[in-house]
């Protein structure tokens, strides 16, 4: 399928599947520095023989907390017809404690900040306030799940950006995480619109939203010096810019998510964030069929795809 023939529905399906496939592909390589990883063409759902994989016992093709929380968000948006933070937060607690939208209801990975936030939710703290808001608490846990908002949302850009920031609040309350989520969503929307320079166009829109987000945080998120610090870590700006680098340095979904994984460290999340964008770019059929076929948990996925498609 050539890019000119990719329909919007193909891109939407590609975005969601691309996030989940990228997440699942990155799971066994998590926590490894770049020098410990296989060569790019050996990065598969099942790592090469002898590789010391992360999450031993998790079957190949299983998405992690990234994919599960993205599906929780999409399910909440579809069920409520709006971003309802308390409903979404309840879904997050169901994920952690009951495996809601986890493959086989098995939760095997959670970020420390998200764990803290969900414990606060369980203590009765409102979802708007439960996410730690210190500057040091800017992990990538809200960025990894936000893409479904773009796939569902039909309103104007400023509303999309505002809601992207809002969905961060239950787990990541600092403005930096909110702004990173907003830029990511605007970037994804520009791809859906067929913009030739989607990141730059999104950044222009974000810069106009000083009434929504602190200007200093907008400038920090968009600072081009972030490109020199890409390292695949769990820091929200590193994750966003590592994903951008993986997308812009490659010409296919397969090469993109492998490039994201080769940054090392938080491989599943970098590949999920990059894979969602690459899925929008190349469409469902641009994702290798062997990876789509290997993706577990598709009984969770298909009803949601049908609802938004």
Structural domains present in the chain: 3-308 (1.10.4080.10)
Helix (H, G, I), strand (E, B) or coil at 139: strand
- pLDDT digit string, tens, across residues 207-259: 999 999 999 999 999 999 999 999 999 999 999 999 999 999 999 999 999 99
For the stretch 282-302, what's the b/e string if a residue is b when 16 or more beta carbons lie within 10 angstroms of its beta carbon?
A: bbbebbbeebbebbbbeebbe
Dist. CA 129–CA 74, nearest whole Å: 21
Q: What is the pLDDT of residue 4?
A: 56
Mean pLDDT of 92-112: 95
Mean pLDDT of 146-165: 98
109-113, 124-128, 196-200, 280-284: the lowest-pLDDT one: 109-113
Dist. CA 292–CA 194, nearest whole Å: 24
User: Which residues touch 287 (CB under 8 Å, ≥6 apart)?
Assistant: 14, 17, 18, 21, 253, 254, 279
Q: Which of 176, 218, 192 is nearest to 279 (CA)?
A: 192
Q: What is the pLDDT of residue 284?
A: 97
Contact 122, 171 (CB under 8 A): no
* Percent of the chain residues past pLDDT 90, beyond the cut: 96
Query: Does pTM surpass 0.75?
Result: yes
- pLDDT digit string, tens, across residues 104-121: 999 998 988 999 999 999
- pLDDT digit string, tens, across residues 47-89: 999 999 999 999 999 999 999 999 999 999 999 999 999 999 9
Contact 178, 149 (CB under 8 A): no
């Amino acid at each position: 399928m050539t890019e000119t023939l990719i329909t919007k529905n193909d891109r939407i399906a590609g975005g969601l599947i691309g996030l989940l496939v990228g997440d699942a592909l990155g799971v066994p390589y998590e926590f490894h520095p770049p020098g410990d990883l296989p060569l790019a063409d050996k990065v598969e759902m099942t790592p090469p023989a002898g590789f010391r994989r992360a999450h031993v016992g998790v079957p190949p093709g299983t998405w992690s907390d990234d994919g599960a929380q993205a599906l929780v968000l999409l399910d909440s948006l579809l069920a409520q017809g709006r971003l309802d933070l308390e409903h979404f937060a309840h879904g997050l607690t169901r994920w952690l404690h009951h495996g809601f939208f986890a493959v086989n209801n098995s939760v095997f990975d959670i970020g420390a900040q998200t764990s803290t936030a969900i414990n606060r939710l369980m203590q009765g703290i409102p979802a708007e306030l439960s996410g730690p808001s210190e500057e040091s608490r800017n992990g990538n846990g809200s960025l990894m799940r936000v893409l479904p908002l773009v796939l569902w949302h039909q309103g104007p850009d400023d509303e999309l950006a505002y809601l992207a920031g809002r969905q961060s609040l239950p787990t990541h309350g600092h403005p930096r995480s909110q702004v990173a989520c907003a830029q990511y969503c605007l970037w994804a929307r520009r791809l859906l619109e067929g913009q030739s320079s989607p990141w730059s166009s999104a950044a222009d829109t974000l810069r106009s939203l000083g009434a929504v987000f602190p200007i200093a945080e907008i400038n920090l998120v968009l600072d081009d010096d972030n490109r020199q610090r890409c390292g695949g870590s769990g820091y929200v700006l590193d994750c966003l810019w590592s994903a951008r680098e993986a997308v812009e340095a490659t010409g296919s979904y397969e090469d993109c998510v492998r490039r994201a994984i080769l940054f090392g460290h938080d491989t599943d999340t970098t590949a999920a964030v990059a894979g969602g964008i690459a899925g929008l770019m190349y469409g469902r059929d641009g994702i290798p069929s062997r990876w789509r076929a290997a993706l577990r948990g598709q009984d969770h996925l298909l009803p949601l795809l049908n609802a938004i498609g």
